[in-house]
Structure formats: structure tokens, C-alpha cells
Amino acid sequence: MKILVINAGSSSLKYQLIDMDKEEMLCKGNCERIGIPGGIFTHKTADGRELDKKVNMIDHTAAFTQVKDALLDAEYGVIKSLDEITAIGHRVVQGGAIFHKSELVDERVIQDIESLIPLAPLHNGAHVQGIRACRELFGDKVPEAVVFDTSFHATMPPKAYMYNIPYEYYEKYAVRRYGAHGTSHRYVSARCAELMGQDPKDLKIVTCHLGNGSSITAVDGGKCIDTSMGLTPLDGFMMGTRSGTLDPSVVTFVMEKEHLTPGEMDQVLNKKSGLLGVSGVSSDDRDVTAARKQGNERAKLAQDILEYQISKFVGGYMVALGGCDAIVFTAGIGENQTAHRAAVCQQLAFMGVKMDPQKNEEMVRGKEGEISTPDSPIKVFVIPTNEELVIARDTKALVEAMR
Ligand code: AMP
């Protein structure tokens, strides 16, 4: 069974074709700058064939046409006919309080995703465009499923997801914590239990997804009980360009001083803050590391803040869990930036975290494994995330249940 996994953004469309018999990726690619002049289409097969072309794509349907052509291409293709694709799985960022699990797509599901656009204006609208364009091209005979970034967090208790503001805003506007990166937290926490050879039900795990966007989740017995992202992915701790949590008065204070509209302040908090805002160098942690090595004090400050805030969240979630068996690092920074992992583990050493420095240095660039010492009471793992595989697995399960 082959499943096409789609991640549609407002101006991009990422895809992977996965052979589910072996759970192997056959090819992946990206359509960039959809609807903007200067479009770029890239396609790579598992056996190393690469297509890279400049092509304007006026909308998502045009992008899907590129994907379809590449999949079938004599030189770069991986299938002979579209009939080989059994189903399509779409990533959806916001499932709100409506979707607690993955679902097969029908018109009601599309409308429900659309109804959640106010909670994820940048994402859900694009997902709907992606789903509709996909249906246009593949027809409705190919089943489609939607897998939500939020659904892993649906098990949070109200004390974790409610904000301390008048209750009526929850009732009127559904303002609450929803979290994000749930598919990643779900994958790495389950994989961690596998690597430990234990039933997820018996484990308390803190998962750290540290990338350009970052979140930390407390997983108790395989279920999320708390997570750092909130109503939107702005909440939590320092990210590439996002501020994470701050005193809400900072927002109104700066808006007044700088005469900013809500939209402009939103841009400041989402696009100009975090590593970029504090360091003044870059949102990319590699650039900040390079600047720090050259003696840039603000680059050092930004990274000190990042490590300090990650440690505080992990420590807080250990308390929320009432103990901790393992900590997992994943995503770009979590999988590669060994200095941050070492600093976080050092700050948590008094709680029983013992890192093996050599294993830590070795576990980079897609490697998976334990980086704690054999006698560490709390185990530490690096696990490359694989959200596409989770989407494909859920899609396969839904399609098989339908048959
Ligand atoms: P992501 O959003 O998961 O792609 O992660 C992006 C972040 O991970 C950026 O801050 C990068 O600096 C960092 N990152 C990605 N790859 C590497 C790498 N090979 N070495 C060091 N940092 C990396």
C-alpha cells in the first residue's frame, strides 16, 4: 500500500510518498512560492534522483499537477500510475475542540476545518485549499484522511488547558490551550517506549521538539497531560522568531509606546522575537552559534535564555508528571545542537539526569539513540521525528477500517 502525505501551507506544499508495506519513503518534495512569481519545485527519490526546477504555480491545483507529473515521470518518477496510490493523508495544524483523532475527509470534515480558521489563520485555510485541490486532481475515489497537530493534546485536563482569564472568553471564543507539534510528540514518545522496551502505559516522558518552532510536552502513560504551546504556536519558550511566554503587559506597553496595531504587534511577537530578536543575528541557531563563537554577547545571551527556559519547562513537567523516566530531544535543534542538550542535562543533573558527553556528541544528523549513562535514573534519548510516517500510519488504519 502506497500513501501520499501532504503538508499544504499558504504558499508551499510538501509531500512524501510512503510504501507502507515496508514503511519506507519512496520520494519527497516541495512546491515553494505557490501564487507568487518565482516558484520552485523540488523532488527527491529515496534512490537519489533529484529534480529541481523553476516553475510558477498559480494555485494549489497547479502545485499538485507538478507533484503528479513528478511521481509519474519516466526519469524521476516512482510509480507507473496514480492508481498505485491507495490513499492520501493531510497534515492539519488546528483541530480545535472538534477533532480529537484523525478522520477520513468528507464535506463535513472540510467545513469543520474551515470553521477553525480563526484559531489558525495562517494554516487551516491553506490546508482546506490543499484538500480541495487534491480532490480536484485525484478525484474522490482516492480516500483522504486528515491528521491534526492538536489531537495528541486532546487528553490534557482543564487545569492544563484553561487560561486564567474571564471564563466567558472560553465559552464565547474557545480561547484555551490547544498545543501544536502533537504528531511529533506522539511519534517520539511512542518510539522512546519502544527503545526502552517498555509499555508506554508505564512511562512518564518529557518530549522536547526543538526546531524553528519549539514545544515541550509532558506524556504520562502515552497520553499528553500538558504542553507548552497554547491557543497558537506563540506560547511556550524562546523559538527562532517567536517570543514564547511573556508578561502580557509587555504587549500593551510596547504597543502604546511604538503605536502598533494588534496586527503589527502580532508580527513583532511571531516574526521578530525569539533567537532573532534577542541576538540580533539570526533566527537560525547555527548562525547564532557561529556569532557566539566570535564573541557576540547577545548571541550568547539568546542561547543562555533558550537553554534556561527549556530546562525550566522540562523541570516543571517532571513535577506535573510526578516523576520522569525519560527525556527526548527531537527536531533540528534537538537532533543536532549538542551544546544545548548538554546544558539542559547539566541544569537537570540534580534531578537525576546523567548525560554521557561522548554519546551526546555522536548523536547528530539523523542518528537515534540514548545519550544518558547506563546508571542514569532518568534516561535521555535523541529521536529524529517522523510526522509523515504517523500521518501515513493513521491514514492506512482509517482506510483499512473502512474496507
Ligand atoms: P527545524 O524547524 O526542525 O527544521 O529546525 C531548525 C533549527 O534547527 C534551526 O535553528 C537550525 O539552526 C537547527 N538545525 C537544523 N539542522 C541542524 C544541524 N545539522 N546542525 C545544527 N543545527 C541544526
Q: Which ligand 1 atom lies nearest to the CA of residue 287?
A: 12
Q: What is the DSSP letter of 5?
A: E
Amino acid at 360: N
Distance from residue 134's CA to the centre of ligand 1 (Å): 30
The pLDDT value recorded for residue 119 is: 86
Q: What is the distance of C-alpha 155 from the center of its chain?
A: 18
Question: What CATH number does residue 251 fall under?
Answer: 3.30.420.40
In a domain? residue 190: no
Give the residue ranges of the chain where pLDDT is below 70. Answer: none
In a domain? residue 222: yes
Distance from residue 154's CA to the centre of ligand 1 (Å): 28
Domain with 53, as residue range(s), is: 2-153
Q: Is 59 among the residues known to form the active site?
A: no
CA distance 234 to 239: 9
Check pocket membership of 233 for ligand 1, CB cut-off 6 A.
no
Question: Which residue among 149, 237, 286, 289 is best mutated to probe the pocket of ligand 1, counting the most ligand atoms within 8 A of its Cβ?
Answer: 286
Same domain, 121 and 203: no
Q: Which ligand 1 atom lies nearest to the CA of residue 289?
A: 12
Q: Which residues pair with 183 in a beta bridge?
A: none
CA distance 196 to 221: 14
Under a CB-based contact definition with an 8 Å cutoff, are residues 329 and 381 in contact?
Answer: yes
Check pocket membership of 240 for ligand 1, CB cut-off 6 A.
yes
Amino acid at 363: M
| Pairing of the two strands 12-19 and 24-32 | antiparallel
Check pocket membership of 289 for ligand 1, CB cut-off 6 A.
no
Between CA 307 and CA 292, with CA 180 as vertex, the angle to 5 degrees is 25
Same domain, 262 and 323: yes
Same domain, 146 and 214: no
First to last CA, the chain: 14
Distance from residue 332's CA to the centre of ligand 1 (Å): 3
Last residue of a domain, one of 153, 183, 215: 153
In a domain? residue 179: no
Same domain, 205 and 303: yes
Distance from residue 220's CA to the centre of ligand 1 (Å): 28
In a domain? residue 167: no
Check pocket membership of 331 for ligand 1, CB cut-off 6 A.
yes
Distance from residue 25's CA to the centre of ligand 1 (Å): 21
Distance (Å) of CA 193 to CA 203, 210, 344, 380: 7, 20, 22, 12
Distance from residue 389's CA to the centre of ligand 1 (Å): 20
Which one is catalytic: 73, 106, 149, 220? Answer: 149
CA distance 152 to 358: 33
Which residues 6+ apart lie within 8 Å of 137 measured at CB? 61, 64, 65, 68
Please tell me the total count of domains within the chain.
Answer: 2
Distance from residue 278's CA to the centre of ligand 1 (Å): 18
Between CA 206 and CA 62, with CA 6 as vertex, the angle to 5 degrees is 150
Check pocket membership of 212 for ligand 1, CB cut-off 6 A.
yes
Same domain, 278 and 370: yes
Same domain, 215 and 115: no
In a domain? residue 184: no
pLDDT digits (tens, 9 = 90+) for 19-74: 999 999 999 999 999 999 999 999 999 999 999 999 999 999 999 999 999 999 99
The pLDDT value recorded for residue 206 is: 98
Last residue of a domain, one of 153, 186, 219: 153
The pLDDT value recorded for residue 122 is: 79
Same domain, 149 and 202: no
Check pocket membership of 211 for ligand 1, CB cut-off 6 A.
yes
Same domain, 254 and 123: no
- Other beta carbons less than 10 A from residue 23's beta carbon: 12
Sheet holding 379-382, edge to edge: 223-227, 214-220, 204-210, 326-330, 379-382, 369-370
Helices (H), 21-123: 60-72, 107-115
- Exposed, middle or buried by CB within 10 Å (0-12, 13-18, 19+), for 137? middle
Same domain, 264 and 376: yes
Q: Is the dihedral of CA 337, 343, 349, 354 positive or negative?
A: positive
In a domain? residue 51: yes
Same domain, 362 and 243: yes
Same domain, 17 and 121: yes
- Other beta carbons less than 10 A from residue 47's beta carbon: 8
CA distance 212 to 41: 22
Amino acid at 135: R
The pLDDT value recorded for residue 121 is: 79
Last residue of a domain, one of 92, 119, 153: 153
Q: Which residues pair with 2 in a beta bridge?
A: 19, 85
Check pocket membership of 332 for ligand 1, CB cut-off 6 A.
yes
Question: Which residue among 279, 287, 333 is best mutated to probe the pocket of ligand 1, counting the most ligand atoms within 8 A of its Cβ?
Answer: 333
In a domain? residue 227: yes
The residue whose C-alpha atom lies closest to atom 18 belonging to ligand 1 is: 336
Check pocket membership of 392 for ligand 1, CB cut-off 6 A.
no
Estimate the crossing angle of helix 60-72 against helix 124-138, to 10 degrees.
50
Q: Which ligand 1 atom lies nearest to the CA of residue 283?
A: 10
Same domain, 112 and 245: no
In a domain? residue 92: yes
